[in-house]
Amino acid sequence: MNKKTKSAIQYVVVLALVIFLVWWSLASIKPEQWPMIKHSLLTANYWLLVPVVLALLASHLSRAIRWKILMEPMGYHPRISNTFMAVLIGYMANLAVPRLGEVLKCTVLAKYEKVPADKLVGTIVAERAFDLVCLLIVMAVTILTQTGLIGEYLYNEMSTTFGSKAGGITTTKLIILAAILIFLLVAVIFVFRKFSHLSIIQKIRTIASGIWQGLTSVRLIKKKGWFFFHSIFIWAMYLASVQIGMYALNETAGFGIKPSMAVLFSGSIAMIIAPSGIGAYPILVSKTMSLYGLDIAYGKAFGWLLWTVQFFQQLVCGGIALVLLPLLNKQKKSNEITSGNRHQDTQPGSGKKTGSTMEAP
């Protein structure tokens, strides 16, 4: 199977998944829930979506600065304006083709800065590795600060799956579950060792190795403090965008930071499952909010609202960046040429004015 055929199959599979998730999200809405969703969206305070967009843009700017910090150990110092525009264009590209943005933002920056695109691959791996760590931290904080609620939910789910007729969870079924998990772990270790020559195993190991190298690359960074600051700030702005979005709907305005953190985690998982979270985002967000007593209809209204804001923010801002980037760099090049000519004209022997004197012919 050649590379083009493989890529085509992957895109068809992703497209099919997206179509299924969108269909599932809409088909699961009951007829009596549509008026609730309509009323919720019609009574929303859409002015509050402006600070949501600003928070997202602040996170993108912080991501661009962090990316620049990752390039500095290699001796590259691109302008923040160019890295910011490249990040916005990358987000826009991801709306069309999954992970295309990661490649495109490297090639875009390489076009306007003296930074080889292939040298930027390592920085992308490092970014994704730290984003994974931040996501795991969000998950841990969410669980630790809401052990009662989440513990009850997990208990109920396990009771449904492994419960007895008398109620509760049977010890026998838990032992069987633990045995299955141990068996699967041993099986995975055996497969990785026995079939290490297979391409799929080597690919998984390469990905794991890349993540580890990305995490350990921070030791080469000079501005470690600023790097960690921006890593935290990016996710703080993500959380702020969710919390402000809560206030936009009357039905979610009363929820605090804990539900927002849970939505941030589930929404991030949705972004991993489907390109830009389309279809999956409203489903997971509504399921999450139902844990806090919100009707599933209002949860879907909230999920679709947040996803729509993010979608159009990435689409519009990426389009603007695509137009502005060549214009800004054209102006920069023009200024450099003008500055160079002025410098040359003021050199002795140029035949031009230097102060109030003229060089003799």
pLDDT tens, residue by residue, 124-171? 888 888 899 899 999 999 888 887 777 676 666 556 555 555 555 566
The CA-to-CA distance between both ends of the chain, in Å, stands at 73
The CA distance from 116 to 2, in Å, is 27
The CA distance from 181 to 342, in Å, is 73
Least confident of 67-71, 83-87, 351-355: 351-355
Average the pLDDT over 205-221 and give the result: 68
The tokens of 196 are what?
């290490």
Beta bridge partners of 48: none
Q: How confident is the model at residue 238 (pLDDT cuts 50, 70, 90)?
A: very high
pLDDT the model gives residue 357: 38
Given a cut of 90, is residue 257 above it in pLDDT? Answer: yes
Given a cut of 60, is residue 44 above it in pLDDT? Answer: yes
The tokens of 164 are what?
């007895």
Q: How confident is the model at residue 356 (pLDDT cuts 50, 70, 90)?
A: very low
pLDDT the model gives residue 309: 95
Pick the residue with more confidence: 349 or 361?
349
Question: How many degrees, rounded to 5, is the angle at CA 159 between CA 153 and CA 163?
Answer: 180
The CA distance from 361 to 355, in Å, is 17
Handedness of CA 134, 140, 141, 142 (dihedral sign): positive
Phi and psi at 352, nearest 5°, equal -110, 170
| CB-CB neighbours of 245 under 10 Å | 23
Pick the residue with more confidence: 15 or 84?
84
Which 3-state string (H, E, C) describes 58-111? HHHHHHHHHHHHHHHHHCCCCCHHHHHHHHHHHHHHHHHCCCHHHHHHHHHHHH
Give percent of the chain above pLDDT 90: 40
Sequence-distant (6+) residues with CB within 8 A of 314 are 88, 91, 92, 94, 95, 276
Average the pLDDT over 96-106 and give the result: 82
| pLDDT 10s digits, 295-343 | 999 999 999 999 999 999 999 999 999 999 998 888 666 655 555 555 5
Pick the residue with more confidence: 317 or 272?
317
Mean pLDDT computed over every residue of the chain: 81
pLDDT the model gives residue 84: 95
Given a cut of 50, is residue 361 above it in pLDDT? Answer: no
pLDDT the model gives residue 352: 46
pLDDT the model gives residue 101: 85
C-alpha closest to that of 81 among 65, 69, 100:
65
Give the max Cα distance, the chain.
Answer: 109
Least confident of 186-190, 207-211, 305-309, 340-344: 340-344
The CA distance from 28 to 296, in Å, is 10
Phi and psi at 357, nearest 5°, equal -110, 165
The CA distance from 99 to 19, in Å, is 18
| CB-CB neighbours of 16 under 10 Å | 10
Sequence-distant (6+) residues with CB within 8 A of 248 are 44, 45, 46, 48, 49, 52, 305
pLDDT the model gives residue 288: 92
Average the pLDDT over 275-281 and give the result: 85
Given a cut of 80, is residue 216 above it in pLDDT? Answer: no
Q: Where are the beta strands (DSSP E) in the chain?
A: 353-354, 357-358
| Burial (CB count <10 Å: 0-12, 13-18, 19+), residue 109 | buried
**Domain chopping of the chain, boundaries:** 33-330
Given a cut of 80, is residue 17 above it in pLDDT? Answer: no
pLDDT the model gives residue 300: 92
Pick the residue with more confidence: 322 or 347?
322
